[in-house]
Each structure stands twice: as structure tokens, then as C-alpha cells.
Amino acid sequence: MQFSLYTGLRAKELAALRISDVYDTEGAVRTQFTLSKSQTKGSRARTVFINKQLTQQFAAYSKWRHCSDSNAPLFRSQKVGHFSANTMCQLFINIFHASGLQSASSHSGRRTFITRLANKGVGVRVLAALAGHSSIAVAQLYIDVNDAKLANAVELL
């Protein structure tokens, strides 16, 4: 869940991650990594940045996971292999449903990631690049608007 919220990755991209994507050869958490074309929706490689909060979570995850195979899936399925994109989507839905969030989906973390950054003033071009969108118009569709944001906007006048 945190990886989705702090990187904005799609379920397909999360499912395709390997240990070596997030950890270097010494086992330290990387500050950034590159998703290959085969790992992304649009078949375009892109860089993913890992912030300090997520770095701490992945340091703890490494101690819990105990995996020395750099090609192993970062997130193991019940069958000890990679999740499929569909199974990862279902996992998110099940977690959200169990938490009482009926309308949430595997894209909820992605939308939250983009909206939170937009609310902090990050420009739409940067948002599109971080999300792997080829168009800023697509990135703008992810930015949620609510009454509190509208009220805050008019107070800027």
C-alpha cells in the first residue's frame, strides 16, 4: 500500500518489481530505480524515486523478507512467484474492502499520490513524468477536487 501511495505505481508495475529494483547489491534501499519497458503500461522505461519515508519502510521490509535472490519478486504471491497484474488489483480491492473502503481500487494510491503532490504545488509536467503519463492532460484527470480545496483557492485572492 505504501509503495503505491509514495511512488504512484500501477498495480502492473508493482507486480513486476524485483528485489534488485529496490535494493542494491549490498542490500541498501535505492533512492531511485528504472522501470524497464516490460514493467510499465505504456512500454516506456521511466525512473521511480523513493522518498525517505518509503526508504525506512523498505529497510524494515528487507529484514522481514530475508531474500538474497536479486531477481526474486519484491512482493511474493501465495505461490511464491510474481503477482500477475490482475491478482495485484484483486489484492488491493480485498484490502480496501476489508478496511471498509468500498469504492477504492488499485489505482487509489496512484490518484492519491498525484493529488497530494499537486496540492503541494508540484507542476503538472512533473506529475506526468512521475506517473509515467505521456500527456499532461491524463495526469490532470487524476487530481481530485473537493470543497475544501475550492475554498482554499479563493482565499488566495
- What per-residue confidence (pLDDT) applies to 41? 86
Q: Count other C-beta atoms under 10 Å from residue 140's C-beta.
A: 14
Check whether 92 has a pLDDT greater than 80: yes
- What per-residue confidence (pLDDT) applies to 100? 92
Confidence of residue 71 (pLDDT cuts 50, 70, 90): very high
Check whether 149 has a pLDDT greater than 80: yes
**H or E element at residue 22:** helix 19-22
Please state which CATH number belongs to domain 1-103: 1.10.443.10
Burial class (CB in 10 A: 0-12, 13-18, 19+), 64: exposed
Q: Count other C-beta atoms under 10 Å from residue 117's C-beta.
A: 20
